[in-house]
Amino acid sequence: MRLPAPNALVGGTLIGFLAIVASVSALWTPYDPLRLSFRAKLAAPSAMHWLGTDEFGRDVLSRLMAGAATSVWISLLTVALAVSLGTVIGLFSGYVRGWVDRTIMAFNDALLAFPGILLALGLLAVVGANKYGIILALGIAYAPSVARIVRGTVLSLREREFISASRVMGNSEAFTMLRHILPNCIAPLTVLATSMFGWVLLAESSLSFLGLGVPPPAPTWGNMLAGSRPYIGQAVWLGIFPGLCISLTLLGINLLGDALRDKLDPRMRGAR
Protein backbone atom coordinates (compact mmCIF):
# COMPACT_ATOMS: atom_id res chain seq x y z
CA MET A 1 0.00 0.00 0.00
CA ARG A 2 1.18 3.50 -0.79
CA LEU A 3 2.11 5.73 2.13
CA PRO A 4 -0.28 8.63 2.69
CA ALA A 5 0.92 12.08 1.68
CA PRO A 6 3.24 13.77 4.21
CA ASN A 7 0.71 16.50 5.00
CA ALA A 8 -1.96 13.90 5.74
CA LEU A 9 0.49 11.96 7.91
CA VAL A 10 1.66 14.89 10.06
CA GLY A 11 -1.77 16.50 10.25
CA GLY A 12 -3.41 13.19 11.07
CA THR A 13 -0.89 12.46 13.82
CA LEU A 14 -1.38 15.85 15.45
CA ILE A 15 -5.16 15.73 15.32
CA GLY A 16 -5.24 12.06 16.31
CA PHE A 17 -3.12 12.81 19.36
CA LEU A 18 -5.39 15.72 20.23
CA ALA A 19 -8.48 13.52 19.96
CA ILE A 20 -6.93 10.90 22.24
CA VAL A 21 -5.94 13.50 24.83
CA ALA A 22 -9.39 15.06 24.73
CA SER A 23 -11.09 11.71 25.24
CA VAL A 24 -8.72 10.64 28.01
CA SER A 25 -9.34 13.90 29.87
CA ALA A 26 -12.98 12.97 30.30
CA LEU A 27 -11.91 9.98 32.40
CA TRP A 28 -8.57 10.95 33.87
CA THR A 29 -6.34 13.97 34.31
CA PRO A 30 -3.19 14.12 36.49
CA TYR A 31 -4.98 16.45 38.91
CA ASP A 32 -8.49 17.79 39.18
CA PRO A 33 -8.37 20.73 36.77
CA LEU A 34 -10.57 22.80 39.08
CA ARG A 35 -8.84 22.06 42.39
CA LEU A 36 -7.28 25.16 43.96
CA SER A 37 -4.02 24.95 45.86
CA PHE A 38 -2.65 28.25 47.08
CA ARG A 39 0.53 26.71 48.36
CA ALA A 40 1.53 25.68 44.85
CA LYS A 41 0.44 28.81 43.02
CA LEU A 42 2.46 29.92 39.98
CA ALA A 43 4.78 26.95 40.36
CA ALA A 44 7.25 26.46 37.53
CA PRO A 45 7.15 23.20 35.53
CA SER A 46 8.52 20.37 37.69
CA ALA A 47 8.24 16.62 38.12
CA MET A 48 5.05 17.13 40.13
CA HIS A 49 3.40 19.60 37.80
CA TRP A 50 4.86 18.91 34.38
CA LEU A 51 3.63 22.17 32.89
CA GLY A 52 3.52 24.15 36.13
CA THR A 53 0.51 25.67 37.88
CA ASP A 54 -1.51 28.86 37.48
CA GLU A 55 -2.27 31.74 39.79
CA PHE A 56 -4.69 29.59 41.80
CA GLY A 57 -2.31 26.64 41.95
CA ARG A 58 -4.33 24.61 39.40
CA ASP A 59 -2.32 22.10 37.37
CA VAL A 60 -1.79 23.51 33.83
CA LEU A 61 -1.47 20.11 32.16
CA SER A 62 -4.76 18.92 33.61
CA ARG A 63 -6.47 22.14 32.59
CA LEU A 64 -5.04 21.92 29.07
CA MET A 65 -6.32 18.36 28.75
CA ALA A 66 -9.75 19.28 29.98
CA GLY A 67 -9.75 22.45 27.88
CA ALA A 68 -8.86 20.51 24.75
CA ALA A 69 -12.24 18.83 24.72
CA THR A 70 -14.14 22.09 25.23
CA SER A 71 -12.11 24.22 22.83
CA VAL A 72 -11.96 21.73 20.00
CA TRP A 73 -15.58 20.79 20.37
CA ILE A 74 -16.68 24.43 20.28
CA SER A 75 -14.49 25.16 17.26
CA LEU A 76 -15.61 22.10 15.33
CA LEU A 77 -19.29 22.75 15.88
CA THR A 78 -18.92 26.43 15.12
CA VAL A 79 -17.11 25.78 11.84
CA ALA A 80 -19.67 23.14 10.90
CA LEU A 81 -22.50 25.57 11.63
CA ALA A 82 -20.89 28.47 9.79
CA VAL A 83 -20.02 26.36 6.76
CA SER A 84 -23.41 24.73 6.40
CA LEU A 85 -25.29 27.96 6.96
CA GLY A 86 -23.02 29.92 4.62
CA THR A 87 -23.11 27.22 1.94
CA VAL A 88 -26.87 27.07 1.86
CA ILE A 89 -27.15 30.86 1.64
CA GLY A 90 -24.36 31.17 -0.92
CA LEU A 91 -25.63 28.37 -3.15
CA PHE A 92 -29.15 29.67 -3.11
CA SER A 93 -28.14 33.26 -3.65
CA GLY A 94 -25.68 32.51 -6.43
CA TYR A 95 -28.07 30.22 -8.20
CA VAL A 96 -31.26 32.28 -8.19
CA ARG A 97 -29.49 35.60 -8.88
CA GLY A 98 -31.67 38.61 -9.59
CA TRP A 99 -33.11 40.76 -6.83
CA VAL A 100 -33.26 37.90 -4.32
CA ASP A 101 -29.50 37.52 -4.65
CA ARG A 102 -28.93 41.23 -4.35
CA THR A 103 -31.05 41.49 -1.23
CA ILE A 104 -29.41 38.53 0.45
CA MET A 105 -25.96 39.75 -0.43
CA ALA A 106 -26.65 43.30 0.73
CA PHE A 107 -27.63 41.86 4.10
CA ASN A 108 -24.66 39.52 4.03
CA ASP A 109 -22.22 42.32 3.26
CA ALA A 110 -23.66 44.43 6.04
CA LEU A 111 -22.87 41.57 8.40
CA LEU A 112 -19.39 41.22 6.92
CA ALA A 113 -18.74 44.89 7.51
CA PHE A 114 -19.19 44.20 11.22
CA PRO A 115 -16.20 42.73 13.00
CA GLY A 116 -17.18 39.11 13.58
CA ILE A 117 -16.37 39.31 17.25
CA LEU A 118 -18.65 42.32 17.73
CA LEU A 119 -21.50 40.54 16.05
CA ALA A 120 -20.88 37.50 18.22
CA LEU A 121 -20.88 39.72 21.32
CA GLY A 122 -24.27 41.11 20.40
CA LEU A 123 -25.67 37.66 19.72
CA LEU A 124 -24.22 36.34 22.97
CA ALA A 125 -26.01 39.06 24.87
CA VAL A 126 -29.23 37.61 23.44
CA VAL A 127 -28.61 33.88 23.72
CA GLY A 128 -26.54 33.90 26.89
CA ALA A 129 -22.90 33.08 27.53
CA ASN A 130 -22.57 29.32 27.60
CA LYS A 131 -21.02 26.71 25.35
CA TYR A 132 -23.94 26.47 22.93
CA GLY A 133 -24.51 30.19 22.96
CA ILE A 134 -20.92 30.68 21.82
CA ILE A 135 -21.29 28.11 19.06
CA LEU A 136 -24.47 29.71 17.80
CA ALA A 137 -23.12 33.25 18.00
CA LEU A 138 -19.78 32.53 16.35
CA GLY A 139 -21.41 30.26 13.78
CA ILE A 140 -23.73 33.04 12.69
CA ALA A 141 -20.94 35.60 12.82
CA TYR A 142 -18.70 33.59 10.49
CA ALA A 143 -21.37 32.36 8.06
CA PRO A 144 -21.35 35.53 5.87
CA SER A 145 -17.76 35.02 4.72
CA VAL A 146 -18.60 31.44 3.73
CA ALA A 147 -21.69 32.66 1.90
CA ARG A 148 -19.59 35.19 -0.03
CA ILE A 149 -17.08 32.62 -1.16
CA VAL A 150 -19.64 30.00 -2.08
CA ARG A 151 -21.67 32.53 -4.02
CA GLY A 152 -18.59 33.67 -5.92
CA THR A 153 -17.70 30.10 -6.78
CA VAL A 154 -21.25 29.36 -7.87
CA LEU A 155 -21.31 32.43 -10.10
CA SER A 156 -18.11 31.43 -11.84
CA LEU A 157 -19.19 27.79 -12.15
CA ARG A 158 -22.53 28.80 -13.61
CA GLU A 159 -20.77 30.21 -16.63
CA ARG A 160 -18.94 26.97 -17.29
CA GLU A 161 -20.30 24.95 -20.14
CA PHE A 162 -20.83 21.81 -18.11
CA ILE A 163 -23.62 23.57 -16.25
CA SER A 164 -25.25 24.45 -19.56
CA ALA A 165 -24.71 20.84 -20.61
CA SER A 166 -26.54 19.65 -17.51
CA ARG A 167 -29.48 21.89 -18.28
CA VAL A 168 -29.60 20.84 -21.92
CA MET A 169 -29.69 17.26 -20.68
CA GLY A 170 -32.95 18.09 -18.95
CA ASN A 171 -31.69 17.94 -15.38
CA SER A 172 -33.65 20.03 -12.93
CA GLU A 173 -32.05 23.14 -11.46
CA ALA A 174 -31.88 21.54 -8.02
CA PHE A 175 -30.16 18.45 -9.38
CA THR A 176 -27.67 20.56 -11.34
CA MET A 177 -26.90 22.53 -8.21
CA LEU A 178 -26.33 19.50 -6.00
CA ARG A 179 -24.67 17.23 -8.52
CA HIS A 180 -22.49 19.65 -10.45
CA ILE A 181 -22.10 22.90 -8.57
CA LEU A 182 -21.84 21.89 -4.92
CA PRO A 183 -19.05 19.30 -5.38
CA ASN A 184 -16.98 21.85 -7.27
CA CYS A 185 -17.25 24.27 -4.34
CA ILE A 186 -15.51 21.81 -2.03
CA ALA A 187 -11.94 22.89 -2.72
CA PRO A 188 -12.37 26.55 -1.70
CA LEU A 189 -14.61 25.45 1.17
CA THR A 190 -12.04 23.10 2.74
CA VAL A 191 -9.41 25.81 2.59
CA LEU A 192 -11.79 28.29 4.17
CA ALA A 193 -13.05 25.88 6.82
CA THR A 194 -9.57 24.96 8.01
CA SER A 195 -8.45 28.55 8.36
CA MET A 196 -11.76 29.38 9.99
CA PHE A 197 -11.05 26.76 12.61
CA GLY A 198 -8.14 28.91 13.69
CA TRP A 199 -10.15 32.11 13.77
CA VAL A 200 -12.79 30.44 15.88
CA LEU A 201 -10.28 29.11 18.39
CA LEU A 202 -8.94 32.64 18.75
CA ALA A 203 -12.39 34.22 18.78
CA GLU A 204 -13.41 31.89 21.54
CA SER A 205 -10.38 33.03 23.57
CA SER A 206 -11.18 36.68 22.86
CA LEU A 207 -14.73 36.14 24.10
CA SER A 208 -13.34 34.48 27.22
CA PHE A 209 -11.02 37.42 27.65
CA LEU A 210 -14.00 39.75 27.56
CA GLY A 211 -15.74 37.56 30.10
CA LEU A 212 -18.31 36.27 27.61
CA GLY A 213 -16.71 32.94 26.86
CA VAL A 214 -17.20 29.66 28.59
CA PRO A 215 -17.72 30.83 32.15
CA PRO A 216 -14.87 30.14 34.63
CA PRO A 217 -13.73 28.06 36.32
CA ALA A 218 -14.21 25.61 33.40
CA PRO A 219 -10.95 25.66 31.38
CA THR A 220 -10.69 26.40 27.67
CA TRP A 221 -7.46 27.12 25.83
CA GLY A 222 -8.76 30.56 25.11
CA ASN A 223 -9.54 31.58 28.67
CA MET A 224 -6.28 30.04 29.87
CA LEU A 225 -4.36 32.12 27.35
CA ALA A 226 -6.35 35.20 28.24
CA GLY A 227 -5.84 34.56 31.97
CA SER A 228 -2.08 34.25 31.58
CA ARG A 229 -1.58 37.85 30.58
CA PRO A 230 -1.08 39.49 33.98
CA TYR A 231 1.53 36.85 34.88
CA ILE A 232 3.56 36.90 31.69
CA GLY A 233 6.59 38.29 33.59
CA GLN A 234 6.57 35.77 36.45
CA ALA A 235 5.06 32.64 34.95
CA VAL A 236 5.71 32.52 31.23
CA TRP A 237 4.57 28.86 30.97
CA LEU A 238 0.99 29.94 31.61
CA GLY A 239 0.85 31.57 28.18
CA ILE A 240 3.28 29.37 26.28
CA PHE A 241 1.56 26.02 26.68
CA PRO A 242 -2.00 26.98 25.71
CA GLY A 243 -0.55 29.00 22.84
CA LEU A 244 1.49 26.02 21.71
CA CYS A 245 -1.61 23.80 21.86
CA ILE A 246 -3.57 26.24 19.70
CA SER A 247 -0.73 26.56 17.18
CA LEU A 248 -0.16 22.83 16.85
CA THR A 249 -3.88 22.18 16.50
CA LEU A 250 -4.12 24.80 13.77
CA LEU A 251 -1.12 23.31 12.00
CA GLY A 252 -2.66 19.86 12.18
CA ILE A 253 -6.04 21.05 10.92
CA ASN A 254 -4.47 22.98 8.06
CA LEU A 255 -2.34 20.07 6.92
CA LEU A 256 -5.29 17.74 7.17
CA GLY A 257 -7.43 20.22 5.25
CA ASP A 258 -4.90 20.37 2.43
CA ALA A 259 -4.69 16.61 2.31
CA LEU A 260 -8.47 16.34 2.28
CA ARG A 261 -8.79 18.85 -0.54
CA ASP A 262 -6.26 16.95 -2.65
CA LYS A 263 -7.96 13.68 -1.86
CA LEU A 264 -11.37 15.01 -2.91
CA ASP A 265 -10.09 16.49 -6.15
CA PRO A 266 -9.71 13.95 -8.94
CA ARG A 267 -7.25 16.23 -10.70
CA MET A 268 -4.78 15.84 -7.85
CA ARG A 269 -5.08 12.09 -7.69
CA GLY A 270 -2.11 10.22 -9.05
CA ALA A 271 -0.38 13.52 -9.67
CA ARG A 272 2.15 12.79 -6.99
Partner 1 sequence: MTSTKPLLEVDGLTLRVGASGRTVVNNVSFCVSPGEIVGIVGESGSGKTLAARAVMGFIPPAVRLISGSIRFDGEEVTTMAPKRLRAIRGARVGMVFQEPMTSLNPSMLIGRQLEEGLALHRKLDAAGRRELILDMLRRVGIRDPEGAFNAYPHQYSGGMRQRIMLASVMLLKPALLLADEPTTALDAVVQRDVMELMVDLTKENGTAVLLISHDLGMVARYCSRIVVMCQGDVVEHGNSEDILARPQHPYTRKLLAAMPHREPAREVPEAGTPLVAVKDLVVDYGGRQGFFRKEQPKRALHGISLSVKPGEVVSVVGGSGSGKTTLGHAIAGLIKPSEGAILFNGKPIDKSETAYWDYRLNCQMVFQDPYSSLDPRMTIGELVGEPLRLVKGMGAAEKKARLAEVLGEVGLGDGFAERYPHELSGGQRQRVAIARAIIRRPSFVIADEPVSALDVTVRAQVLELFAELQKKHGFSCLFISHDLGVVEQVSDRVIVMQDGRIVEEGTRDQIFDAPQHDYTRKLLSAVPGLESMADGGVRLFWRLGEPA
Closest CB to partner 1 among residues 35, 269: 269
Residue 240 burial by Cβ neighbours in a 10 Å radius (0-12, 13-18, 19+) = middle
- Going from the C-alpha of 257 to that of each of 114, 125, 198, the distances in angstroms are 27, 33, 12
Q: Are 50 and 4 in contact (CB under 8 A)?
A: no
Q: Are 208 and 75 in contact (CB under 8 A)?
A: no
Closest CB to partner 1 among residues 28, 159: 159
Q: 50 in helix, strand or coil?
A: coil
Residues that bind partner 1 (CB under 8 A): 102, 160-162, 164-171, 180, 183-184, 265-267, 269
Q: Nearest-CA neighbor of 180 among 95, 54, 268? A: 95
CB 49, min distance to partner 1, A: 52
CB 169, min distance to partner 1, A: 5
Other beta carbons less than 10 A from residue 12's beta carbon: 16
CB 263, min distance to partner 1, A: 12
**CA-to-CA distance for 69 and 51, rounded, in angstroms?**
18
Closest CB to partner 1 among residues 77, 105: 105
CB 265, min distance to partner 1, A: 8
Closest CB to partner 1 among residues 236, 268: 268
CB 12, min distance to partner 1, A: 24
Closest CB to partner 1 among residues 182, 218: 182
